[in-house]
Structure 1
Amino acid sequence: LWKAARKNKKSIYTSEVIREKADEIDEITKKSEEGVIATSGRNDVLTTALETPKSSGRVRTEGRFATPSSYFGRKNEASHPTMSYKS
């Protein structure tokens, strides 16, 4: 979706920098599928390629009390999403 949003009507990237980042996204995706690098939770493919950490805000669509750490787990916990609601 990030890549598609940065193409014009002729499906050409709007700048050379954007094209390079799109190529990097493809490369990281390939390495992730091959198991060379691990991408999950806050360290997903887009975050890795753009070198921008995700904000520590709320997790949308999961309710008022869901936070990134309750949804994705903390850095030292398993990388699979787990939900824990607070009463």
Structure 2
Amino acid sequence: MSPEEVWRFYNKRGTCELWINELKDGFAVDEASQHNFVKNEAYMLVKAISYNLMLWFKEATMPERGQKLPGKNHQAQSALCTGQHRG
């Protein structure tokens, strides 16, 4: 592998790790609060769907520079901006 190919490979891996960290930090996807595997799986899927909806909302409503904010920062900004929509 060339140095550039190695960099591209690890860059993709790093991006995936950022998504996992956002899921853990912003949506507590790593917590298993139920005492049943199926319930925990369903709970995790709801959190993953919520995360995807947040990403879609971010793309649909935020300027391009705001789309790069991590999930927790975006959630805080959304809470602060509630009711201030101009359209």
Whether the TM-score (by the shorter chain) exceeds 0.5 is no
TM-score class normalised by the smaller sequence? under 0.3
Q: TM-score, normalised by structure 1?
A: 0.28
Q: TM-score, normalised by structure 2?
A: 0.28
